[in-house]
Amino acid sequence: MTLKALTFAPTGGIVAAPTTSLPEKIGGARNWDYRYCWLRDATLTLQSLLVAGYTQEAAGWLEWLLRAIAGDLARLQIMYGIDGTRRLQEFELPWLAGYEGSAPVRVGNTAAQQFSSTYWVRSSMACH
């Protein structure tokens, strides 16, 4: 049920987590926004949804993926916005203290610019 709650029915996107700016370590600066569709995480969630019989959600995610990549595999990213947005800007909110004083509070995530070969493998496995 928790994994199903990470799906966004209008688009079929699956977010990695419904959180932003929770630190890896209390007081630390490594606070990231995970409210995005990370292909690796979404494919793992997708596999669990299929095992649990949530085929409609799985089909929705595949449709989301096809729209997000827009037919151009050369521009495949490791993550997208819940609606398939490609440009994910990151900025800090310095006026917020952060969870238990863990600053900075970040919105957005520039990890979309990173390259990882695992998303190719995971995404192709999910489509198969």
pLDDT band at 53 (very low <50, low <70, confident <90, very high): very high
Between 32 and 10, the higher pLDDT residue: 10
* Residue 111 pLDDT grade (very low, low, confident, very high; cuts 50, 70, 90): confident
For the cut 90, the answer to whether the pLDDT of residue 95 exceeds it is yes
Half-sphere exposure of 108 (CA within 13 A, CB side): 11
- Burial label for 95, CB within 10 Å (0-12, 13-18, 19+), is exposed
pLDDT of residue 4: 81
pTM: 0.77
DSSP state of 108: S
* Residue whose C-alpha is closest to residue 44's, from 21, 20, 22, 15: 15
* Residue 55: pLDDT over 80: yes
For 55-76, what is the mean pLDDT? 85
Taking residues 65-83, report their average pLDDT: 84
Burial 59-92 (b: 16+ CB within 10 A, else e): ebbeebbeebbeeeeeeebbbbbbebeeebeeee
CA pseudo-torsion sign 107, 34, 18, 126: positive
